[in-house]
Structure 1
């Protein structure tokens, strides 16, 4: 299971590199060679969308996303764990609904045959890759919720305490 989790995190990291490379290449080509990469802007925004959804998957499992821990920090360890369970359960619900809605968007983009501006490439494969990242987020959040409830010692968070 941990290998699959690491693979999902590596895919998210790869998309960070792809977005950065796309931006860097476009700037270098425009600045030094006066050449614009066709569909640079479309690729940039579509890849950024993919990056966001795969990033949700990577950060949600590790609990490394932005949190407000005012109540959590002042609670005893036993209550900290239940706050984490509640918060992760809410996150699981929200991301599951988001994944269902994004799937509808993938289908609509496919049916409407939305294309990029210059190269006339279909947008739906980019939306589909983003949806897979969102589905991976649901999977990882479900694993995190299960581990928080039944095996808190398996969570990779530094803040999770297994004492009660």
Structure 2
């Protein structure tokens, strides 16, 4: 079975979003596997051989950032966030749609402007040559990655919000 056939069978997203979701999930899963491997080797090295992996804590921090921000746009696009619907039975469908659109606009614009600031901080870190504490890895690139994933999350949020308001039928 080809990769395209497998992706088409297992992903319900349409068009290029299907491949973007697949790619981001591959990144998140690969980083999670590497985090697990690093932790196992570090613990085994520490307790069995009295020699931990140098920089394992720093690698774990960087890996968590990579994994979380790779998964964030996917979760947002699929609408996987926690939603409190205490007032859904009280409010009408039109009011709920307006509130849904308003929340999508607020969340996506917040993510966008937050990403702008994060990207500026990443650029400044790169210009100044800021590196991580133990391994000496440039930290600005991870910061810019976080900003890019936040922009992608903002785009997913506004797309999802508008789609749900305009194209979801009333109950």
Q: Could you state the TM-score of these two structures normalised by the residue count of structure 2?
A: 0.74
Paired residues of 2:122 and 2:143 also in contact (CA < 8 A): yes
Would you say 1:43 and 2:59 are equivalent positions?
yes
The aligned residue for residue 135 of structure 2 is 119
Distance 2:36 2:88 in 1: 36
Change (3 A) 1:80 1:109: same
Structure number with the bigger relative contact order (C-alpha 8 A, sep ≥ 6) is 1
Structure 1, unaligned stretches of length 5 or more?
153-161
Runs of 4 or more, structure 1, over 6 Å off, are: none
Post-superposition CA distance 1:7-62 (Å, at most 9, x none): 35513444444434433332233223322212211121122223333333222222
> What per-residue deviation string (whole Å, max 9, x for no partner) do you get for residues 84-139 of structure 1?
22211111111111110110121121122122233322222222322222222122
TM-score by length of 1: 0.77
CA RMSD in angstroms comes to 2.4
Residue in structure 2 matched with residue 98 of structure 1 by the alignment: 114
Alignment length (residue pairs): 155
Between structure 1 and structure 2, the one with the greater Rg is: 2
